[in-house]
Chain A
Amino acid sequence: MIILKGTKGKKSNVLLISFFIPLTLILPLFIKSSFFIHMLIMSFINAILAIGLNFILGFIGEKSLGHAAFYGLGAYTTAILSTKFNLSDWRSLLISLLVTAIGALIIGFPSLRLRGPYFSIVTLGFVLILQLFISNGGVLTGGPTGLPGVKRLEIYNPFNNNVIVLSTDISYYYLITISFWFCFLISILLVSSKIGRAWTAIRENLDLAESIGINSFKYKLIAFLTGAIMAGLAGSIYAHYFSFVSPKLFDTFVNINIVTMVIIGGEGTILGPVIGAFLITILPEILRFAEELRILIFGFILLITIIFAPKGIVGTITNILIHEKER
């Protein structure tokens, strides 16, 4: 009912998920290529970002262009805590999420009152302000060159009462996979709850939704905040995994990339952003394009999707399946 809207029952969703969760967990046993593991890690990071953006962009229908700000905020908070305060365990992760949430509130309160293009431009503006602050942040943020030497994440092990340092790529693979499934399940829960129905109501007709007592600002803020916290989580894990953050991490291109993932996969669907994220991350690596050519091809893919399949991959497939059923 939810994953492919209107085509499958709840039972098959459970089956689908209970097939894919173990699959992603045993995948590293068969894949020994570290490059492929890296690609999967990046895909999952991007998938978390896309799922988070999809709340406000797909379900509410307000086109945020500021999602990368939260990714950057999470990554930089973690990096600064790790390099300057020597803190890189669950506490720093928690502080990063908290800082991202506060950032989301600061951005959300003024901008969520705006609609349409104004909202898009103001959220974009916040990304640029954050970029300027971080590029001019001096010793604290490392300026435009970035902040190297972020320590690996330490996890407390309650059984042996010791601390494990996540140092291998495989351990980050598991960390990000678990985080991804966590975000994915939260997204299913939210969308199928009262909150998700309120989101759809706001998207379809804001005035009508408000007239039946839906507090649109509150629900928009929930969507914005949840998405931001997910992006903060992705950023934080990225910082530990890559040990390096720079302002390039969340520049305009990355920002547009996240939007592209959601649009290509299908905005307003649960599975769409995930498919989009995997495609956009893995496809260029398989085809081995040069950097400039990659942006060019992304641009064309986005343009063709908008013109010929405006509902994205998942949306279009769902439409076809519904038509088949009706026939």
Chain B
Amino acid sequence: MLLLLQTIVNGIVDGLAYSLMSSGLTLVFGIGRVINFAHGELFTLGAYIAIILVQNHFSYLFGSLISIILVGFVGVIIETLVIRRLRRLGASIWSPFLATLALLNILQSLYLIIFSPNPYILNNPFAYVPINIFSITISGQDLIILIVFLLSICLLNWFLKKTKYGIAMKAISQDREASLLMGINIENIYKLTWFLGAMLSALAGILLTPKSTVDPYIGRVALLKGLCVVIIGGLGSIEGAILGGIFLGLTESLASVYLLPTFKDVFGYLFVILILLLKPRGILGKSLRRG
């Protein structure tokens, strides 16, 4: 019984991590209509910048904040230099998608050249403190993830639903031409979207990497788990990303305890394929064409 409870709790904690990984991805897709394949590399970038700052005697909190904002600006640079050009060319959805794939290669090899393949550790003094609640154990980092996750999702929700910019984002995602006619500065909103999306990717990187190490290849895991989650939840839906993340976390955690541990990741993907067969637009997904 305790094992089952612990497994479920672990699954939910992992699931929240996955939701966090996918929230940046889903935001950029929902509004910018771009699957950001460089998402995982922004995740890594966040972790690397934080590591450099922490090594230079910044605190984990302060270093993380600076890193998140810097990565947000990298997102804006990607939007202005690459994605906007392609949008102006009137290219299909495929070109930006491919461009981010190229960015993935570029950033990953830059990390290899600058940081070498050796693993780095993002030090957070609170990360390894075990916390017992009703004889179920979670680590300090898990608690931080839980709190920051809830906070950031509430903040994001407030931003998207209540502020002028959030409403403008939603308008663009629903009808680009009409929002242009309503006087929304589309270019600025796209920049803002990429800023927020990249910030969320970096946030995930900073929160999740203290649980393991940082090397140039960790972005791949973040990207693939993120893609899994957004597909389960439906591309472009934040609520879907949360639900999808918890679904995936629970499946993996239960499967690795009660079925085969080595094939943990396969279950996640099989689950994704099953969902796509039953609901080709994801659990909470909307039609792409109408979007």
Q: List A residues at the B interface (Cβ < 8 Å).
A: 63, 110-111, 113-118, 120-122, 124-126, 128-129, 132-133, 136, 252-253, 256, 259, 263, 292-296, 298-300, 302-303, 306-307, 310
Q: Which 6 pairs from chain A and chain B are nearest by CB?
A: A299-B105, A299-B106, A296-B109, A302-B102, A295-B109, A303-B102
Does any Cβ of A come within 8 Å of B65's Cβ? no
Closest to B112 in A: A292
Q: Is B108 an interface residue (CB 8 A)?
A: yes
Given known A-B contacts A121-B227, A295-B109, A307-B85, A302 and B263 have beta carbons under 8 A apart: no
Q: How far is the CA of A295 from the CA of B104 in the complex (A)?
A: 10
Question: Are B103 and A252 in contact, CB atoms less than 8 angstroms apart?
Answer: no
Residue of A nearest to B33 (CB): A117
CA A253 – CA B101 in complex, angstroms?
10
Q: A113-B277, A122-B276 are in contact. List 11 more A-B contacts (CB 8 A).
A: A111-B273, A121-B35, A125-B227, A126-B273, A136-B263, A295-B109, A295-B112, A299-B106, A302-B101, A306-B98, A307-B86
A48 to B240, CA, bound (A): 40
Chain A residues with Cβ below 8 Å from B269 are 125-126, 128-129
| Beta-carbon nearest neighbor of B89 in chain A | A310
Q: Is B165 an interface residue (CB 8 A)?
A: no
Determine the main DSSP class of A at the interface with B: helix
B266 touches which of A133, A259, A293 (Cβ 8 Å): A133
B-side contacts of A299, CB under 8 Å: 102-106, 109
* B1 at interface by CB-CB < 8 Å: no
Tell me if B235 counts as interface (CB < 8 A to partner A). yes
**Residues on the B chain within 8 Å of A307, using CB:** 82, 85-86, 89, 99
Residues on B with beta carbons closer than 8 Å to the beta carbon of A296: 105-106, 109-110, 113
- Judging by beta carbons under 8 Å apart, are A118 and B280 in contact? yes
| Closest beta carbon of chain B to A37's beta carbon, Å | 29
B98 engages A302 (CB within 8 Å): yes
Q: Are A122 and B272 in contact (CB under 8 A)?
A: yes
Q: Could you pull out 24 A-B pairs where Cβ atoms are within 8 angstroms?
A: A63-B98, A113-B280, A117-B35, A117-B93, A117-B97, A118-B276, A118-B280, A121-B231, A122-B276, A125-B227, A125-B228, A128-B224, A129-B266, A132-B265, A133-B263, A133-B266, A136-B263, A292-B113, A293-B113, A294-B109, A295-B105, A299-B105, A302-B105, A306-B95
- A136 — nearest CB in chain B belongs to which residue? B262
Number of A-B residue pairs having CB atoms within 8 Å of each other in the complex:
112
Known A110-B273, A114-B280, A125-B273; judge A120-B105 contact (CB<8 A).
Answer: no
Question: B94 in the interface, Cβ–Cβ < 8 Å?
Answer: yes
A235 to B55, CA, bound (A): 46
CA distance A132 to B263 in the complex (A): 7
Write the chain B residue with the least CB distance to A267.
B94
Task: Check B272 against A303 for contact (C-beta < 8 Å).
Answer: no
Assembly CA distance A307 to B110 (angstroms): 21
B91 at the A/B interface (Cβ < 8 Å)?
yes
Tell me whether B105 and A128 are in contact (CB under 8 A).
no
* Residue numbers in B under 8 Å from A115 (CB-CB): 288
Would you call B176 an interface residue if the criterion is a C-beta within 8 Å of the partner chain's C-beta atoms?
no
Residue B220 lies at the interface, judged by CB distance under 8 Å to chain A: yes
